[in-house]
Homo-oligomer: A and B are copies of this chain.
Amino acid sequence: MNLSPAAELAIRGIRLLAEKGADRPIPLDVICKEDNLSKQYLVKIFAMLAKANLIRPIRGKHGGYLLGRPAKDIRLLEIIEAVEGPLVLNYCLHDPPQCEEADCPGRTLWAELQEIMKEKLASVKLADMCRPSARVKAR
């Protein structure tokens, strides 16, 4: 049980964008260079984050990406779900159900675990994950 490589990259990429903290769009190349990230992969991940309105692509010569809203208002859960889809810890919790055993104690336990995990991931904000030394983008 661990974070998908896509979600891992999404978090690293958007965190670097937040840390750049400028009011001007940050080109993808700058973000990739900062942490040796694959541009080919990150461009796809950023398209997913943009679709979820977590970041905003700006076209043109001085284009790049801006955060969609302040880093203190972007939840870690939103970043993960933007690339992985709704968080579903295991088979028991698929919606619609894929198992007919409605009274299974396993399902109740997994639902409880999932709720704890979602609450925690929703409580963490992008701003919390940025280095204190970085000038985190306020808007």
Contact = CB atoms under 8 A, between A and B. Distances in A.
Interface in A95-139: 101, 103-106, 109, 112-113, 116-117, 120-121, 124, 128-132
Interface of A: 1-4, 7-8, 11, 15, 76, 80, 84, 87-91, 101, 103-106, 109, 112-113, 116-117, 120-121, 124, 128-132
Contacts of A128: 105, 109
Copies assembled:
2
Chief secondary structure at chain A's binding surface = helix
B89 A1 contact: yes
Given A106-B15, A116-B116, A116-B120, A1 B129 contact: no
A116 B11 CA distance: 20
B113 A120 contact: yes
B113 A117 contact: yes
